[in-house]
Structure 1
Amino acid sequence: MSVSITVFLLFIGYIIFSIDKKKENFPVPPILVIIGIGLFFVPYFSQISVTKEIIYHVFLPGLLFVSAYQFPFSDFKRYAGIITFLSTAGILLTVLLLGTLIYAVSLPFIEIPFIGALLMAAILTPTDPVSVVSVLKKSADDDLIADVVEGESLLNDGTSIVLFTFISGIYLQTQSISPMAFIGEFLYVSLGGIALGGVFGWLFSQAIHYTHNKEYQVMLSIILAYGSFNLAEFLGVSGVLATVFAGIMLSFEFGRAIREAHFREALDGFWGVIEISILSLLFLLIGILAADYLIFNYWGLAVLVFAGSLIVRLLVIAGATQLLPVWHKKMSMSECVLVSWSGLKGSVSIFLILSLKATGADGIDLIISLTFAVVLISLVVQSIGVHPLSKKLLG
């Protein structure tokens, strides 16, 4: 992608985010995605090539880090049980149930193997709340829903990637079915990423005390965000979880060091610009990349899969929170519905789609088209619906 195209896309993002500041609850993600689809039909933009490495190694670490360090550690601690369940066991259960549902509803349309249906479910499971969190905080009386949605999205990306890697290996016949091997790999990748991120976050939180220059301190945050991610990937553990826990550890240490308030201001200023820049590029590129796969004959199936993903997510969340007394007291059924609705598909799903595309395997075009379609429906419908739904359920 050339510099001129990048600048033009950023300019579009600037316009849309400026409108968002002036109009309450303006649906930024779907607007940018729709503009991106339109740009695909302009010859200048139709040849844009974006690799999974750009999404994974350039966009994702920045988005994860800014969300993690801004997420108060006290909130994470308060809802740790629900967040941890939803981002681990909840993910596994969701993939199994959604994969089974996809396999069943696809039979009248086209034959998708069961492992292919599970692969689609793994792609569609990670959540990416983006601007939804700010809407939830404005609409709800407390931050419970926004905190659970944001905390879950930070942790479930790592689980989803490990699960996708395992299932795609079986689908592509490069890996045998071995539950024990999956559990061992999952624990190594996840716990290794968490440990690495925690250590890096603590070390860098101590290092900032050795300089009072805000510019140098912000440089350290860039090194922390991207350094922890890439080192973790090099060591074979989760770069996603490493960056997330590096940010969470940094947030925890800042909460104990009031004298570093000036650094948090500098960090917010820098990463605030980075966040909206990445989001602008990401959503526009999602539209441009998806457009080539959206002319196919199974939009009815895509709508059913989208509806099924919402139902399965609600069943998992409501089942866990309403059956356990300790969680039932914290989250009502209305809040479960809103948490379920707020789980948009986004950046990680796109990375997984591009990863599958990069394999060049036979028979994956339909899976790619279907998952692209479901991601787009999710971004448009759920982004637009979250404000009126929150007002209806909690207003």
Structure 2
Amino acid sequence: MLDLIAIVITLTAVLAWLNHRFLGLPQTIGVMAIALLLSGAMHGLTALGWTALEAQVETWLGQIDFNALLMDGLLSLILFAGALHVDLDRLRRYRWSIGFLATVGVVVSTLAIGSASYALCALFGFDIPWLYCLTFGALISPTDPIAVLGILRNAGAPKDLELRIVGESLFNDGVAVVVFTLLLGAATGEEALSVSHAGMLFLQEAGGGILLGLVVGGLAYGLMRSIDAYRIEVLISLAVVLGGYALALHLHFSGPLAMVVAGLLIGNKARESAMSDTTREYLDGFWELVDEILNTLLFVLIGLEVLLIPFETGYFWVGLGVLAVLLTVRFVTIGVPVRLLRDQLGFRRGAARILTWGGLRGGISVALALSLPDGENRDVLLTVTYLIVLFSILVQGLSIGRVVKGLLTDR
């Protein structure tokens, strides 16, 4: 395992250097693009008869449980780091629009994309049950906080829209994971699909996660306020993330929501009244570094995982159709309330287009797709997920800045 960690980190460092030295792309997009080129080169060598390199890399990647690595490890650190720098007062100002996008938006998108995927799969000859397609709708609907936080910072979006997208992405994966878990249980026959069961699961996961976040964040606040020692206070913040997330998993609470709430509490209340200037400087520096390193590592793995993704021509056409539906559903889901409730929710002109194009999908969708049971259903849905994530990061991620500038120039 140590050899594998050393290889991945060394490769990540080399790709980050290459991107910084020669490409100049946003770091997460750049390293993923280079990793994809490496994967393509290995496919080319295999086609020429040199199979050893690709076989060895596939063996290494096969030892990495991407779902566990992200959902049980990296996600907690990245979500906390992202929430740590969100202004809670400003977040409250947009709570209704963020709440709508993170709940109603996810549910509506799950139903629409799931149903469209069912029709598209049938059209191209893939017999995938409707419940499995709904499960796919749940995993592809939420915007990914990792992708959003890593890319949107440099897009130049107005602060109110940036905060809405970031706030939505921080909260909606907690909702989406609950919906995904419920639908996957029903699709595999392990759980009954009912309103009462869904309500109880949501209350346990979401309510428990929020409560746990308040408890561990409040405890950390009390401990930080009682001392002035930046080394210990940074260590306390790390304990909140690792210990709090592990506890959430054992209690079957939403770990992502717990980390977001704890991060908001420490990043606002503790920052104001429990930290010295020195502690703030070291705490911010530590978590910014953790965020950058883990994001870069994750996007390298996404670029290399293409070697393990099954592919057929039909999968591409299904993915293309689902991508069109996904963008349309997001635009409609956002556009209708923006037009009807613009004054009440405080949306600016062009908000629907920016929120639509800025709703990036990323590693969380891939991780959830990888957790599907083996079989043709998984192969089709995993490949479609991967295609959408690649488009989201490479196309939407690279062009969101131009979309924002164009709309602001037109004002």
1:326 Cα deviation after fit: 4.1
Map of 1:390 onto structure 2? 404
**1:248 partnered with 2:264:** yes
d(CA) in 2 for partners of 1:199 and 1:17? Answer: 41
Q: TM-score, normalised by structure 1?
A: 0.91
**1:4 partnered with 2:6:** yes
2:236 aligned counterpart, secondary structure: helix
Q: Deviations over 1:13-71 (max 9, x none)?
A: 53156459x95xx3433332232234442445332232121111221011000001111
**1:372 partnered with 2:382:** no
Q: Deviations over 1:165-207 (max 9, x none)?
A: 1111111111122122101211221011001101211110121
Matches within 5 A, 1:7-156: 7-15=9-17, 18-19=20-21, 23=24, 26-40=25-39, 41=42, 42-43=53-54, 44-47=56-59, 48=61, 49-51=63-65, 52-111=67-126, 112-128=128-144, 129-136=148-155, 139-140=156-157, 142-156=158-172
d(CA) in 2 for partners of 1:69 and 1:380? Answer: 27
Matches within 5 A, 1:273-292: 273-292=289-308
Q: Deviations over 1:279-337 (max 9, x none)?
A: 11101111111332253212122122112111111111112232225445x11351111
**1:339 partnered with 2:355:** yes
Map of 2:287 onto structure 1? 271
Moved more, 51-60 or 4-13: 4-13
Letter in 2 for 1:90: G
Contact 1:98–1:118 under 8 Å retained in 2:
yes
1:50 aligned counterpart, secondary structure: coil
Letter in 1 for 2:400: V
Map of 2:319 onto structure 1? 302
Map of 2:329 onto structure 1? 312
d(CA) in 2 for partners of 1:371 and 1:318? Answer: 24
1:146 Cα deviation after fit: 0.7
Contact 2:113–2:134 under 8 Å retained in 1:
yes
RMSD (Å) for aligned C-alpha atoms: 2.1
d(CA) in 1 for partners of 2:317 and 2:28? Answer: 23
Q: TM-score, normalised by structure 2?
A: 0.88
Map of 2:252 onto structure 1? 236
Letter in 1 for 2:267: S
Map of 1:321 onto structure 2? 338
- Which structure is richer in relative contact order (CA contacts within 8 A, separation 6 or more)? 1
1:345 aligned counterpart, secondary structure: coil
d(CA) in 2 for partners of 1:258 and 1:229? Answer: 23
1:355 Cα deviation after fit: 1.5
Cα pair distance change 1:97/1:106, threshold 3 Å:
same
d(CA) in 2 for partners of 1:377 and 1:46? Answer: 23
Structure 1: where are the runs of 5+ without partners?
A: none
Matches within 5 A, 1:166-245: 166-245=182-261
d(CA) in 2 for partners of 1:132 and 1:30? Answer: 8
**1:351 partnered with 2:378:** no
d(CA) in 2 for partners of 1:45 and 1:120? Answer: 28
**How many residues of Structure 1 are paired with residues of Structure 2 in the alignment?**
386
Contact 2:228–2:276 under 8 Å retained in 1:
no
d(CA) in 1 for partners of 2:408 and 2:232? Answer: 44
d(CA) in 1 for partners of 2:159 and 2:18? Answer: 26
Q: Deviations over 1:85-106 (max 9, x none)?
A: 1111221111111212222333
Structure 2: where are the runs of 5+ without partners?
A: 43-52
